[in-house]
Amino acid sequence: MSGDGIVIVGGGLASQRCVETLRARGYAGRLRLVCGEAELPYDRPPLSKELLAGELDEAEVGFRPARWYADQRVELIFRRAVKLDAKRRRVRLDDETELAYEDLVIATGGAPRVLPQLAQYSNVHYLRTIADARRLRTELREGARLAVIGAGFIGQEVAATASAAGAEVTIVEAAPAPLGAVLGEEIGRTLMRMHSDQGIDVRLATKLEDARGNGTVEELVLSRGGTLACDAVVVGIGVAPDSGWVGTSRLGKEGVLTDVAGRTEVPHVFAAGDVTLAFDHRVGRHRRSEHWDAAVRQGVAAARAILGERPEPAPPPSFWSDQHGVRIQYFGYADLSDEMTIEGRPADRRFAVIYTRRGKPVGALTVDDPRAFARLRKEIARADSGNSSERSNDELHPEG
Ligand code: FAD
Sequence ranges of the domains in the chain: 6-111+240-306, 114-237, 325-384
Number of neighbouring beta carbons within 10 Å of residue 370: 11
Residue 87 has what DSSP assignment? Answer: T
245 lines ligand 1 (CB under 6 A): yes
Rounded to an integer, what distance in angstroms lies between the CA atom of residue 111 and that of residue 52? 19
Report in angstroms the alpha-carbon separations of 141 from 136, 144, 162, 265, 353: 10, 5, 8, 49, 35
CA 43–ligand 1 middle distance (angstroms): 8
Rounded to an integer, what distance in angstroms lies between the CA atom of residue 317 and that of residue 312? 15
Ligand 1 pocket test: pick from 20, 44, 300 the residue with the most ligand atoms within 8 Å of its Cβ. 44
Phi, psi of 74 (to 5 degrees): -105, 115
**Lowest-pLDDT range of 117-131, 134-148, 166-180, 242-256:** 242-256
- Of all protein residues, whose CA lies closest to atom 42 belonging to ligand 1? 292
319 lines ligand 1 (CB under 6 A): yes
369 lines ligand 1 (CB under 6 A): no
- Of all protein residues, whose CA lies closest to atom 36 belonging to ligand 1? 128
CATH of domain 6-111+240-306: 3.50.50.60
Contact, 35 vs 76, CB < 8 A? yes
Contact, 29 vs 2, CB < 8 A? no
**Kind and range of the H or E run holding 77:** strand 74-77
Q: Which atom of ligand 1 is nearest to the CA of 274?
A: 52
Ligand 1 pocket test: pick from 108, 126, 287 the residue with the most ligand atoms within 8 Å of its Cβ. 108
Over residues 63-121, the pLDDT tens digits come to: 999 999 999 999 999 999 999 999 999 999 999 999 999 999 999 999 999 999 999 99
Rounded to an integer, what distance in angstroms lies between the CA atom of residue 323 and that of residue 194? 9
290 lines ligand 1 (CB under 6 A): yes
pTM: 0.95
CATH topology of domain 114-237: FAD/NAD(P)-binding domain (3.50.50)
Provide the pLDDT confidence category of residue 184 given band limits of 50, 70 and 90.
confident
81 lines ligand 1 (CB under 6 A): yes
Same fold, 6-111+240-306 and 325-384: no
Inform me whether the pLDDT recorded for 235 exceeds 70: yes
Provide the pLDDT confidence category of residue 390 given band limits of 50, 70 and 90.
very low
**Kind and range of the H or E run holding 383:** helix 370-387
- What lies within 8 Å, CB to CB, of 117 at 6+ separation is 208, 210, 211
**CA-closest candidate to residue 140, choices 221, 51, 61:** 51
Question: Given the DSSP bridges, would you call strands 74-77 and 318-323 parallel, antiparallel or unpaired?
Answer: unpaired
154 lines ligand 1 (CB under 6 A): yes
b/e sequence 101-114, b meaning 16+ C-beta within 10 Å: bbbbbbbbbbbbee
320 lines ligand 1 (CB under 6 A): yes
302 lines ligand 1 (CB under 6 A): no
* Torsion, Cα of 49, 52, 53, 57 (10° steps): 100
Q: What percent of the chain has pLDDT over 90?
A: 87
* Residue 231 burial class via C-beta count within 10 angstroms: exposed 0-12, middle 13-18, buried 19 and up: middle
Q: Which atom of ligand 1 is nearest to the CA of 109?
A: 53
Over residues 210-234, the pLDDT tens digits come to: 999 999 999 999 999 899 999 999 9
- pLDDT (mean) for 110-135: 97
Q: Angle at CA 34, nearest 5°, toward 41 and 303? A: 80
Question: Given the DSSP bridges, would you call strands 201-203 and 168-172 parallel, antiparallel or unpaired?
Answer: parallel
Over residues 34-47, the pLDDT tens digits come to: 999 999 999 999 99
Q: Angle at CA 369, nearest 5°, toward 165 and 336? A: 105
CA 29–ligand 1 middle distance (angstroms): 26
Provide the pLDDT confidence category of residue 347 given band limits of 50, 70 and 90.
confident
Which CATH architecture best describes the domain 325-384? Answer: 2-Layer Sandwich (3.30)
Rounded to an integer, what distance in angstroms lies between the CA atom of residue 322 and that of residue 53? 12
Q: Which atom of ligand 1 is nearest to the CA of 289?
A: 45
CA 292–ligand 1 middle distance (angstroms): 8
Q: Look at residue 1 in the predicted model and tell me its pLDDT.
A: 63
Residue 109 has what DSSP assignment? Answer: -
